[in-house]
């Protein structure tokens, strides 16, 4: 996967922070699930909160909240907004 300047994986984004999705390392069923949930390249995501240890992570995308496993969030490359 091509590295994007000033980007990192979604699991490293702190609560209350917003970012744009810039890429994925996910494939197959995991990628399909993310797409079905609206986690698409270019979409805006916001971290609502993370459980102790960072698993699961609650995010807001396309106006609704969903939970991702830490392993899934590690497959999503984001760029911070602002």
- Domain with residue 22: its CATH number is 2.30.30.90
What's the pLDDT band for 15 if we cut at 50, 70, 90?
very high
Question: What are 81's two structure tokens?
Answer: 């907004």
Residue 1 lies in a domain: no
Q: What is the pLDDT of residue 7?
A: 78
Q: Which domain holds residue 37?
A: 7-80
Q: What is the pLDDT of residue 53?
A: 84
Question: What are 49's two structure tokens?
Answer: 């909160």
Residue 58 lies in a domain: yes
Question: What are 60's two structure tokens?
Answer: 């807001």
Domain count, the chain: 1
pLDDT above 90 for 44: yes
pLDDT above 80 for 35: yes
Residue 11 lies in a domain: yes
Residue 61 or residue 7, greater confidence: 61
Q: What is the pLDDT of residue 1?
A: 44
């Amino acid at each position: 996967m091509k590295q994007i300047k000033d980007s990192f994986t979604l699991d490293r984004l702190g609560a209350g922070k917003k970012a744009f999705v810039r890429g994925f390392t996910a494939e197959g069923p995991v990628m399909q699930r993310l797409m079905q949930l609206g986690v698409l390249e270019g979409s805006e995501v916001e971290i609502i909160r993370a459980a102790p240890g960072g698993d699961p992570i609650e995010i807001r995308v396309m106006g609704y909240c969903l939970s991702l496993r830490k392993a899934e969030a590690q497959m999503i490359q984001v760029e911070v907004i602002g």
